[in-house]
């Protein structure tokens, strides 16, 4: 798949030519869906961690390639606009809004939308010369997508989710769900969501991550006889709002020498002498 039409640059600036996109990642890896179902409380955190691991290198490679193919420096705003247009259009694709009935369909819809939005945010970060593979990008995702109000809270939640991932890798999900003693028959282990509520809770968490409009559809889609789908207008609108927040955040941090800048920019800054105060 190729990028959308070149974005409008600043007045007098030449926008970058359309470049071939990185290999498409249509949906989250299968292991992520399983992890989120087993641990719905931290579903957004698991998605953010997986997105930075899988999509961060793709975003960084895309930004490097586009810049390398241009004969003149590419304005950061123009490159960010190109990424936004690409993924707002991608949010309208059938694989993002499947329209499947019932709550399972809603979970798929909002999960794919949240994954596409995370991919867009990482591309925008790379457009502003920030390291799309840095762990701070997972923090950014959770704050920008309004899962957490503050970066401190997002870091704590990400640490908890990462710890649960490591525990699952070492001992398996069952060991985390019931670490002590026997569980009475018919009773869920401590901290584990009852089976009948897992899908509902997962849908609500992912809907919040995908946008406020999607949250209302969690309840509407499970009512008998109601077949409200996650419409393309809602998907693109939520993605546009997220894009505006992402560009505002990363524009503030671009070119200021923060530790989360792209590696090549960090090397350049180390070679530059400090200016006297």
Who wins on pLDDT, 61 or 99?
A: 61
pLDDT of residue 205: 87
Domain count, the chain: 1
Residue 14 CA to residue 126 CA, distance in Å, equals: 19
Q: Which residues pair with 20 in a beta bridge?
A: 2
Question: Tens of pLDDT along 200-259?
Answer: 888 888 888 988 555 555 545 544 433 344 455 567 788 899 999 999 999 988 765 554
Q: Is the residue at 120 inside a domain?
A: yes
Query: CA dist 134 to 56, 112, 261, Å?
Result: 8, 22, 9
Q: Is the residue at 169 inside a domain?
A: yes
What is the pLDDT confidence band of residue 19, given thresholds at 50, 70 and 90? very low
72 CB neighbour count, 10 Å cutoff: 8
Who wins on pLDDT, 82 or 10?
A: 82
pTM of the predicted structure, to 2 decimals: 0.74
Q: Is the residue at 156 inside a domain?
A: yes
Domain residues for 168? Answer: 32-174+196-270
What is the pLDDT confidence band of residue 167, given thresholds at 50, 70 and 90? confident
pLDDT of residue 170: 78
Q: Is the residue at 186 inside a domain?
A: no
The pLDDT of 130-157, averaged and rounded, is: 96
The pLDDT of 173-193, averaged and rounded, is: 46
pLDDT of residue 272: 38
DSSP 129-163: TB-TTSTHHHHHHHHHTTS-SSHHHHHHHHHHHHH
Q: Is the residue at 253 inside a domain?
A: yes
Q: Is the residue at 8 inside a domain?
A: no
Q: Is the residue at 203 inside a domain?
A: yes
Q: Is the residue at 94 inside a domain?
A: yes
DSSP 236-264: HHHHHHHHHHHHHHHHHHTTS--TTB-HH
pLDDT of residue 20: 43
The per-residue pLDDT of the chain, averaged, comes to 74
pLDDT over 60 at 269, yes or no = no
What is the pLDDT confidence band of residue 98, given thresholds at 50, 70 and 90? low
């Amino acid at each position: 798949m190729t990028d959308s039409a070149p974005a409008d640059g600043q007045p007098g600036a030449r926008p970058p030519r359309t470049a071939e996109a990185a290999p498409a990642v249509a949906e989250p890896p299968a292991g992520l869906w399983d992890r989120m179902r087993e641990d719905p409380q931290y579903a957004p955190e698991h998605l953010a961690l997986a997105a930075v691991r899988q999509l961060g290198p793709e975003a960084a490679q895309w930004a490097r390639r586009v810049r390398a193919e241009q004969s003149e420096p590419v304005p950061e705003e123009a490159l960010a606009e190109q990424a936004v247009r690409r993924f707002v259009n991608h949010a309208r694709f059938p694989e993002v809004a499947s329209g499947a009935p019932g709550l399972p369909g809603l979970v798929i819809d909002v999960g794919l939308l949240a994954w596409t939005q995370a991919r867009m945010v990482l591309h925008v970060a790379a457009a502003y010369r920030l390291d799309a593979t840095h762990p701070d990008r997972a923090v950014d995702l959770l704050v920008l997508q309004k899962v957490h109000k503050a970066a401190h809270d997002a870091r704590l939640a990400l640490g908890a989710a990462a710890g649960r991932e490591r525990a699952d890798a070492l001992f398996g999900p069952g060991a985390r769900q019931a670490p002590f003693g026997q569980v009475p028959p018919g009773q869920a282990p401590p901290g584990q969501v009852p089976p009948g509520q897992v899908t509902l809770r997962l849908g609500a968490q992912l809907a919040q991550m995908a946008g406020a409009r999607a949250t209302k559809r969690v309840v509407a889609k499970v009512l008998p006889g109601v077949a409200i789908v996650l419409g393309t207008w809602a998907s693109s609108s939520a993605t546009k709002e997220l894009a505006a927040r992402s560009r505002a955040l990363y524009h503030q941090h671009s070119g200021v020498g923060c530790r989360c800048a792209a590696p090549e920019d960090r090397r350049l800054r180390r070679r530059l002498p400090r200016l006297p105060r």
